[in-house]
Amino acid sequence: MHLDLSEFTARQARPLRVKMDEFQRERRLKHLIFASQLELEHLNRLQRLADIIRQLSKTKKGSDALRSLLSHKRAMLYFTQPSTRTFLSFMAACQILGLTCNEVRDPATSSEMKRESPLDSIRMFSSYFDVIIMRSPVAGFSECCAYLMNDLEKHEMRSVPIINAGSGSEEHPTQALLDIYTIQRTFQFDSANGTTAGRLPDLSKKFPGLTPGLNNKTYLFCGDLGRGRTVRSLATTLTNYQNVRMFFVSPDHEKLKLDLALRKRLESAGVEFHEFDSLDATWQSQPILALTDCLYMTRIQMEHNSAADSAAMNEMDLSPYHLSAARLEKLRDYAPILHPFPRDSVVQEIPTFVDADPRAMYFRQARNGMWVRAALLVHLFDVADQLLFLHSDFYGV
Ligand code: NCD
């Protein structure tokens, strides 16, 4: 059938809104390729499923029951780009639900070394496995794999869901899922999830207008905004919420600043956003950090640099993008600090002393990835009703 990615170029070039339906099955996700697929209804549903999985996992009986949900399914983790958290949390998510998983992490160990096309590899995986979870340095590759699966389905051949676990510097929709889930839990005010638990009455005296959930908030993104796929996917997903304002802080370098595509996406979603070149910047005479409800730090992704970029960035003063003690002091006293990780241990955009701050949410954020990725698998395999049944059986709710 398809041997080479160029056969999909025309389909890829279509506007997102036109192709979106091809990744859905009615209201349910069929593949997860783009963050724009994640509508409020999906986000709420997945968060609810993640909460249930988290609760059931607390006991042996609950964990055993969860493991029976998808014990008849197998997952392929095809990760040809470095990954620690995304890979391991997907693997843990599979284990929670009883899926068997296998992995290919280095194409040098696969038949691609014998000049097999990556699309043939994908089709082979779909012969043995029931879902393909993939990370690739090639932007658009997972999208092409989803088209391949759709074409196979059209010809009544075996086809499986594709999950994009990071494509080039373009998209990372499941990271957006776990980021949103973490923010939602933080602003629930009644959970045991750190900074805000039980504090709404006090906090809203000091910060009138503070409400539960993700609406009515200012989100500050800092670091490599141009090449950070997590920034692009989270900012896109946040456009689902009401009265959201975004601050973007990055060095004034073409590769690191907000890119045109995201800027246009935010403009067309009617989101208010502002760009700055330091965490010390002010907006309407107030420090931006003092106006921030949620801080999203990222590392500068040096691995994408050309020789010229490296030369320019080595000269750059990156200190305006570090979370120093003085800056931490200015940040609102409930504002969660997120980072997709890895953080750069040399540059230290978040120094390790911040880890002890109750607002540091990044380790919880990474763990949330496991629950919400398990929820995504439950959704894709359409076993949410079975999960809800299990839950009501255990807890009578
Ligand atoms: C990120 C990624 O791979 O895009 N990491 C992750 O998945 N948690 C961010 C990064 O590499 O900086």
Q: What is the pLDDT of residue 192?
A: 64
Going by pLDDT thresholds of 50, 70 and 90, the confidence category of residue 361 is very high
For the range 139-142, what are the long-range contacts, defined as Cβ-Cβ under 8 Å and sequence gap of 24 or more? 139/167, 139/168, 139/169, 139/170, 139/171, 140/5, 140/8, 140/12, 140/167, 140/168, 140/170, 141/5, 141/167, 141/168, 142/31, 142/33, 142/167
> Does residue 208 form part of some domain?
yes
What atom of ligand 1 comes closest to residue 172's alpha carbon? 4
- Looking at the chain, the whole-number percentage of residues with pLDDT higher than 70 is 98
CATH code, domain carrying 27: 3.40.50.1370
Residues 6+ apart with CB under 8 A from 322: 279, 347, 348, 349, 350, 351
Indicate if 152 and 180 belong to the same structural domain: no
Q: Is 166 in the pocket of ligand 1 (CB under 6 A)?
A: yes
pLDDT, average across residues 43-66: 97
**Are 230 and 172 contacting, i.e. CB atoms less than 8 angstroms apart?**
yes
Q: Considering the domain boundaries, does residue 227 fall inside one?
A: yes
- Specify whether 139 is located in the same domain as 222: no
Does residue 73 have its Cβ closer than 6 Å to ligand 1? no
For a ligand 1 pocket test, name from 77, 80, 84, 86 the mutation site with the most ligand atoms within 8 angstroms of its C-beta: 86
304 Cβ below 6 A of ligand 1:
no
Q: Are residues 167 and 136 in the same domain?
A: yes
pLDDT tens track for 157-171: 999 999 999 998 899
Angle among Cα 15, 17, 23 to the nearest 5 degrees reads 105
Task: State whether 234 and 115 are in the same domain.
Answer: no
Measured from the CB, is residue 175 less than 6 Å from ligand 1?
A: yes
- Tens of pLDDT, residue by residue over 67-78, are 999 999 999 999
For residue 185, give both structure tokens.
């839990």
Q: Is 172 in the pocket of ligand 1 (CB under 6 A)?
A: yes
Query: Quick check: is 261 in a domain?
Result: yes
- Ligand 1 atom, smallest distance to 366 CA: 8
Q: How far is the CA of 230 from the centre of ligand 1 (A)?
A: 7
Kindly give the distance from the C-alpha atom of residue 313 to the centroid of ligand 1, in angstroms, as a whole number: 20
| 396 lies in some domain | no
Mutate which of 164, 175, 364 to test ligand 1's pocket (most atoms within 8 Å of Cβ)? 175
Cβ(301) to ligand 1 under 6 A? yes
Is the same domain home to 167 and 181?
no
For 6-153, strand residue ranges (E) read 24-25, 28-29, 74-79, 100-104, 131-136
> 226 lies in which domain range?
173-190+200-301+317-367
Q: Which of 87, 136, 221, 230 to mutate to test the pocket of ligand 1 (most atoms within 8 A of CB)?
A: 230
Phi first, then psi, for residue 79 (nearest 5°) are -120, 95
**C-alpha 353 – ligand 1 centre gap (Å):** 22
Give the pLDDT score at 397. 67
Cβ 164 under 6 angstroms from ligand 1? no
State the angle between helix axes of 60-69 and 40-56 in degrees (0 to 180), rounded to the nearest 10: 130
Cα separation of 370 and 365, whole Å? 9
Region 30-39: mean pLDDT is 97
Quote the ligand 1 centre to 226 CA distance (angstroms).
13
Atom 7 of ligand 1 has which residue's CA nearest to it? Answer: 86
Closest Cα partner for 276 from 245, 301, 305, 304? Answer: 245
Q: What is the position in ligand 1's atom list of the atom closest to the CA of 369?
A: 8
Question: Residue 118: CB within 6 Å of ligand 1?
Answer: no
Q: Best substitution site from 89, 134, 163, 172 to test ligand 1's pocket, by max atoms within 8 Å of Cβ?
A: 172
- Residue 78 contacts by C-beta under 8 Å, 6 or more apart in sequence? 103, 104, 121, 122, 125, 132, 133, 134, 135, 136
Residue 396 — very low, low, confident or very high, per pLDDT cuts 50/70/90? Answer: confident
> Is residue 10 situated within a structural domain?
yes
Inside any domain, residue 394: no
pLDDT digits (tens, 9 = 90+) for 288-298: 999 999 999 99
Per-residue pLDDT at 2 exceeds 60: no
Q: Are 161 and 54 contained in the same domain?
A: yes
* Claim to verify: residue 256 and residue 350 sit in the same structural domain: yes
Condensed to tens digits (0 to 9), the pLDDT of residues 209-249 reads 999 999 999 999 999 999 999 999 999 999 999 999 999 99
Report if residue 97 sits inside a domain: yes
Q: Are residues 227 and 155 in the same domain?
A: no
Per-residue pLDDT band for 26 (boundaries 50, 70, 90) equals: confident
Q: Counting atoms of ligand 1 from 1, which one is nearest the CA of 86?
A: 7
Query: Is 162 in the same domain as 15?
Result: yes
Region class of 157: left (phi > 0), else alpha (psi between -120 and 50), else beta: beta
Token pair in block for residue 290: 């003092």
**Residue 361 in contact with residue 337, Cβ under 8 Å?**
yes
- Joined together, the tokens standing for residue 340 give 């997709």
Query: pLDDT for 252-299, tens place per residue?
Result: 999 999 999 999 999 999 999 999 999 999 999 999 999 999 999 999
Has residue 195 been placed in a domain? no
Q: Are residues 379 and 349 in the same domain?
A: no
**Given a cut of 70, is residue 1 above it in pLDDT?**
no
Please work out whether the CB of residue 173 comes within 6 Å of at least one atom of ligand 1: no
Q: Provide the domain count of the chain.
A: 2
CA gap 80, 83 in Å, rounded: 9
Query: Do both 126 and 26 map to the same domain?
Result: yes
- The percent of residues above 90 in pLDDT, for the chain, comes to 88
Residues 219 and 83 in one domain: no
User: Mind listing the pLDDT tens digit for each residue in 79-120?
Assistant: 999 899 999 999 999 999 999 999 999 878 777 777 888 899
Distance of alpha carbon 297 from alpha carbon 162, whole angstroms: 28
Q: Is the pLDDT of residue 3 over 70?
A: no
Ligand 1, atom 1, lies closest to the CA of 340
